[in-house]
Amino acid sequence: MKKLLLIPALFFSLLGVAQMDKIISSPPSPPRLVNDFSKTLTAQQVEALEQKLVRYDDSTSNQFTIVIVNSTDDYSIEDAALELGRKWGVGSKDFNNGVVILVAKDDRKMTIQVGYGLEGAIPDLVSKSIIDNTITPQFKNDNYYRGLDEGTDDLIKAAEGRYKAPENYGSRKKKGPGTLTIIIIVIVLLIVFGSGAAGGGTYVSRGGFGGWGGGGWSGGGWSGGGGGGGSGGFGGFGGGSFGGGGSSGSW
C-alpha cells in the first residue's frame, strides 16, 4: 500500500522537475528579458520592465533578466537560476555581465545570481541588501511589480557604483561578539598571562583590537562595453556565464 502511495508523489515530483527543466532548456523565442511564467504581472507591467531593461542593455551591454515561476520544485532556487543563466547565456560571452532575478512565487523565494563580470560591482552583500531592503518588503504586500521595478533600479545603481546600502545593514547582518563575551575573554587572558608573568617572567606583546568598521559600501561601477544604440526590442542573449555569485531571500 505504501508503495502505491509513493507512485503519485514520484510522478508529480518528476513532472515538477520536467516543467522547470523545460523553462531552463528553452530560452524564450522571440527573446525577452522579462518572462512571467506565473502570470503574476499584468501585460503592461511586463512591458514596462522589459523596455527599461532593454534600454539598459542597449546603453551598457549589461543584461538583467527577470524570470517568475510558480515553483522551482525539486531544484533549489539558486541552482535553477544558475542553470537558467548558463543555458540561456545571459550577458555577453566576452564580459559575462548578466544578472538573473528568479522569483518562485508559490515557494515565496527569490534569488539574484550575478555573472562573473559583475561580481565586483554587485557583490553578495549588495545583492542581499537589495533583496532584504527593497524587493521582499514589497513582495510581502503582494506588490510584485513595484519590488521588481525598484529592485532593478538598485541593481543598475550598484552596477554603476551608485548604490548605498541602508546605514549599518552589514553590521546588523553579522554582529560581532557581545560586550559580556569580550569582558570574560579579557578577564581570562589577564588571569592566564598574569600568572605566567609571576611564575617565569614571560613577556607577551599583543596588538589591540581595532573594532569593526561602520558605514556603507558601494560597488566600483562596471560596464561591459557599449551596446547597440536605439530603444527597439531585445536582440537576444549573448552567451554569458555564471559562477555562483549572488544572494537569495524569502518573504
> What one-character-per-residue DSSP string does 98-114 give?
EEEEEEETTTTEEEEEE
What is the spatial distance between Cα 24 and Cα 71, in angstroms, rounded to a whole number? 13
Q: Per-residue confidence at 231, pLDDT binned at 50, 70, 90?
A: very low
The pLDDT value recorded for residue 202 is 32
- Burial code (b: 16+ CB inside 10 Å, e: under 16) for 120-137 equals ebbbebbbbbbbbebbbe
Provide mean pLDDT across the span 153-171. Answer: 90
Give me the chain's average pLDDT, please.
80
Residue the block writes with cell 517568475:
68
CB 63 within 8 A of CB 225: no
What is the spatial distance between Cα 208 and Cα 186, in angstroms, rounded to a whole number? 12
**Which amino acid is residue 86, in one-letter code?**
R
CB 121 within 8 A of CB 108: no
Provide mean pLDDT across the span 77-92. Answer: 97
Number of H helices, E strands in the chain: 8, 5
Q: Which of 146, 79, 135, 133 is nearest to 108 (CA)?
A: 135
88, pLDDT greater than 80: yes
What is the spatial distance between Cα 10 and Cα 74, in angstroms, rounded to a whole number? 11
Strand runs labelled E in 8-75: 34-36, 63-69
Helix axes 43-60, 144-159, angle to 10 degrees: 10
The pLDDT value recorded for residue 180 is 57
Kindly report the backbone phi and psi dihedral angles of residue 249, in degrees, each rounded to the nearest multiple of 5, phi listed first.
Answer: -160, 175
The pLDDT value recorded for residue 172 is 56
What is the spatial distance between Cα 80 and Cα 78, in angstroms, rounded to a whole number? 5
What is the spatial distance between Cα 164 and Cα 218, in angstroms, rounded to a whole number? 6
What is the spatial distance between Cα 135 and Cα 219, in angstroms, rounded to a whole number? 19
Rg (CA), the chain: 24
Provide mean pLDDT across the span 128-146. Answer: 98
